[in-house]
Amino acid sequence: MSEKIKVHIALFIVSAIYGATFTIAKEVMPLYIKPYAFILLRVSVASVLIFFFHQLYIQHKKIDKEDYKKLLICAVFGVAANMLMFFKGLSLTKPINGAVLMLNTPIFVIVFAWIWLKEKVNFLQITGIIIAAVGALLLISGGNFSFESSTLQGDILVTLNAISYAFYLVYAKELIRKYHPITVTLWSFAIGTFLVLPFAFNQSTEIDWASFSPKIWAFVAFITIGSTFFTYVLNAYALKHASSSLVGTYIYLQPVIASIIAIALQRDELNLTKFLCMLLVFAGVYLASFGRGKIKN
């Protein structure tokens, strides 16, 4: 299997997991675990899993002294800040607003990649991103989103989260070129755990573990292992071999996956409009990928 296909499979799996996360997380938060406590649980569990994975399968390479500051920046923007702002912002705005604002992430990725990494942006890539954005926006817009003064604080936090994650996707690429992507992910989560702890400690003490049913435990496992450990590891792998812009563009698949899951669970119905919107997203992601050129082995 070629590296290009592996990268696209990895990014599709990430989008599929994130698409399911929005539905599954609602079953756990805030009734069983409050948002900040859930973030701490996600980050700490992922740190442990990545540590053991790293010990077993990754060849150790000493971190240069000057790179610890860069790893701290990755932890701030890629783990702590973006997760805290997203969950807090989502609690202060409408879910549909949050979903729409997150569609800004690929745009910010392109801007940061152009400024920081000097990545070239060509016509096909821009066209693909616009097509995918339009398809995703039309797919989501059935939720009747609107921006009001009552949701302004939450909308700002979700937007800042999108900017933070976009910056991480670009900034981490330099470190991933130098070290193994799992090494960078391990340090980001290890440091991120300590950064999140002051915000989440009080909420963590309120968790009633005895109230968890097997179903809730399964949902928690999915969020901590699937949508945290696997997604960050797969994204790190993709960043090693593809552009930051391509990795960011796959975010547009998340509402498509979420819609497919909702239809499969009979919480939504498939119609011609939704089908065409999904086709637009897939076509846009393909064009953005095709316009980017070769994926490195």
How many Cβ atoms from other residues are within 10 Å of residue 51's Cβ?
Answer: 14
What's the token pair of residue 120?
A: 């070239």
The predicted pLDDT at position 256 comes to 77
- Asked if the structure places residue 285 within a domain, the reply is no
* Distance separating alpha carbons of residues 91 and 83, to the nearest angstrom: 12
Cα 95 to Cα 87, 158, 197, 234, distances in angstroms: 11, 10, 25, 26
* Distance separating alpha carbons of residues 75 and 189, to the nearest angstrom: 6
Residue-by-residue DSSP string for 91-114:
HHS-HHHHHHHHTTHHHHHHHHII
What's the token pair of residue 73?
A: 């920046």
- Asked if the structure places residue 9 within a domain, the reply is yes
**All residues at 6 or more sequence positions from 35 whose CB lies less than 8 Å from its CB, including other chains:** 29, 87, 88, 90, 91, 203
0.75 exceeded by the pTM? yes
Residue 280 · residue 131 · CB < 8 Å: yes
- Asked if the structure places residue 23 within a domain, the reply is yes
User: What is the extent of the structural domain holding 88?
Assistant: 3-125+146-243
- Asked if the structure places residue 20 within a domain, the reply is yes
| Closest of 252, 256, 280 to residue 102, by C-alpha | 252
How many distinct helices (H) and strands (E) make up the chain? 14, 0
Residue 9 · residue 250 · CB < 8 Å: no
- Asked if the structure places residue 270 within a domain, the reply is no
* Distance separating alpha carbons of residues 196 and 36, to the nearest angstrom: 8
Q: What is the pLDDT of residues 7-21, one digit of tens each?
A: 889 988 998 888 787
Spacing of C-alpha 105 from chain mean position: 10
The segments of the chain whose pLDDT lies below 50 read 293-294
Q: Based on the structure, what is the number of domains in the chain?
A: 1
In whole angstroms, how large is the CA radius of gyration of the chain? 19
Polymer length in residues for the chain: 297
| Closest of 42, 11, 22 to residue 106, by C-alpha | 11
* Distance separating alpha carbons of residues 284 and 7, to the nearest angstrom: 17
Amino acid at 56: L
How many Cβ atoms from other residues are within 10 Å of residue 233's Cβ?
Answer: 21
- Asked if the structure places residue 116 within a domain, the reply is yes
- Asked if the structure places residue 140 within a domain, the reply is no
- Asked if the structure places residue 259 within a domain, the reply is no
What's the token pair of residue 46?
A: 């992922």
Helices 123-140 & 272-292 angle (0-180, nearest 10): 160
